[in-house]
Amino acid sequence: MLQRPPPKSARDDLPTGLKAPDGITAVEWLVARDAVPYEDAVSTMMARTDAIAAGHASELAWLLEHPALYTAGTSAKAEQLIDARFPVYSSGRGGQFTYHGPGQRVAYVMLDLRRRSPDIRRFVASLEEWLIRTLDHFNVRGERREDQVGVWVRRRDKGRDHEDKIAAIGIRVRRSVTLHGVSLNVDPDLAHFSGIVPCGIAEPRRGVTSLLDLGLPATMLEVDAVLRREFEPLFGDTV
């Protein structure tokens, strides 16, 4: 059976990858084994980006999980918070409401765009490409969408035009250094997303999914290994 090609995104035309010039220190790769409170993560990111901007610290990719919570991006609307069953935090990142919690891999990426490329759209496209390549390892075809930042999966088992979001992106740039990043649903409780309008998307044909929901159970260690492997061709060596 012939399949329709995925809708083309303007970001498909952007070059992806933001490798630093030769001689730049490798990106520190840090994985938190215990859940990190959101406020602690934000304060750590702010301090680290200041240090990176001042030339006192290396760039950082920080992988972690949060306790169950909701965050509101700079475009969030009050009516999109349906049931505040978990703590709600205002966030300086772009985007609207999202959920973070156990079973979701969050990756905060702190890169110095002065040494790479100041093109924010290219940076976002590179984050999407990172996630798409990671999902491909697990036999999941992730796709971009012109009207939404993030990565989507077609769900023909739910209807011909149905699609679910499996990974979200929300970033901020401070002193030319990126902070916040991406979240990939590995095996979170998807019912927790019902307390919000995720990413402002209320269309019946669009929902939220995870690797487990797609019938592809994976451990966080397996996901982390693939994320690191696919990060390096796009952003450079890690240490």
Q: How many CB atoms lie within 10 A of CB 101?
A: 20
Which pLDDT does position 94 carry in this prediction?
A: 85
Residue 11: per-residue pLDDT: 52
- pLDDT per position as a tens digit, 11-31: 566 677 888 777 678 999 999
Instruction: Please state the rounded mean pLDDT for residues 194-222.
Output: 92
Per-residue pLDDT for 8 more than 60? Answer: no
pLDDT value of residue 66: 98
222 CB neighbour count, 10 Å cutoff: 14
Indicate the pLDDT class of residue 213, thresholds 50, 70 and 90.
very high
pLDDT score, position 25 = 84
**pLDDT at residue 230 is higher than 70:** yes
Instruction: Check if the beta carbon of residue 60 is closer than 8 Å to that of residue 46.
Output: no
Q: What is the mean pLDDT of residues 127-138?
A: 98
pLDDT for 132:
98
Is the pLDDT reported for residue 139 higher than 60? yes
Q: Among the options 135, 166, 169, 199, which is catalytic?
A: 199
Residues 150-184: tens digit of each pLDDT? 999 999 999 989 999 999 999 999 999 999 999 99
51: annotated active-site residue: no
Q: What is the pLDDT of residue 14?
A: 63
Phi-psi region of 17 (alpha: psi -120 to 50; beta: other; left: phi over 0): left
Q: What is the mean pLDDT of residues 36-51?
A: 98
Q: What is the largest CA-CA distance in the chain?
A: 56
Q: How confident is residue 5, by pLDDT bands cut at 50, 70 and 90?
A: very low
Average pLDDT of every residue of the chain = 92
What's the residue count for the chain? 239
Q: 151-188: buried (b, 16+ CB within 10 Å) or exposed (e) per residue?
A: bbbbbeeeeeebbbbbbbbbbbbbeebbbbbbbbbbbb
Q: What is the DSSP letter of 96?
A: S
Q: How many CB atoms lie within 10 A of CB 3?
A: 8
Q: How many angstroms separate the Cα of 166 from the Cα of each of 37, 58, 134, 138?
A: 23, 30, 12, 13
Residue 44 pLDDT greater than 70, yes or no: yes
Q: Is the pLDDT of residue 76 over 80?
A: yes
